[in-house]
Amino acid sequence: MAASGPAAPGAAAAAPDWAASPAVPAVRLVAGFAGFGAGSVNLAIASSFFAAAAGPAQPLGLAAGAAAALWGTALLAGAIVFLAKEPPAGGRRVRYSLGSAAAVHVAAIAFAAPRTSGLNLTQLSALLLTLMIIASLGWLGRTEARREGGPRAGRGTAGSVRPGRLLAAAFAGAVLVAGIATPGLAASTAGQYAVPHGEHGNLAPAGHHQR
């Protein structure tokens, strides 16, 4: 009976850590998917800026396109590193960069010029995906801090996630990211000139391959 007293607090302290750990892989996947989506949307924004500056020389449009292209490439590379590293890569600099990018998207929507107003939906998609990354990283950071501050830091708890649940979470995250990114990509210049599905390689008007 005496041994049961000290064991109860330890079990109670370990319970929150075990309960929180199964969601960590799913949130990491969502953050990675959102990074891929945000990177692709930013590259679409860059293509729109470059297309708008293709006529007369517009240094500001070229500079904005180059900045969007670099940021989109950084997001794609960062998503790969984030999903590959254990523990997840990320820190204050990453969060500050993402927050600055979100502020830029908000400003681009609020102060859109007539020639860039068509990108509002694309900017909104990039903003939502960026906020999704920030929220996911914030949740992961708080969970990791609680785990390190607890009496028992379970490194093996992530293995308790059932593959079926993780697969369902990955599918739901992919559908959510695709639902946000697809309208933004379609509203960009790259999306407007994209070949519709089912028409790749159909050179004849009737939809048959010419020989």
> Look-up: residue for tokens 């599918």?
171
pTM greater than 0.85 (yes/no): no
Taking phi over 0 as left and psi of -120 to 50 as alpha, with beta for the rest, 198 belongs to: left
Domain ranges of the chain: 23-148+161-188
Higher pLDDT, residue 197 or 86: 86
For residues 85 and 114, what is the distance between their CA atoms, to the nearest angstrom? 43
Higher pLDDT, 152 or 107: 107
C-alpha 199 chain-centroid distance: 30
Q: What does the buried/exposed string (b/e) look like for 88-122 if buried means 16 or more CB atoms within 10 Å of the residue's CB? A: bebeeeeeeebeebbebbeebbeeeeeebeebbbb
Name the average pLDDT for the chain: 78
- 59-87 pLDDT per residue, tens: 777 888 899 999 999 999 999 999 888 66
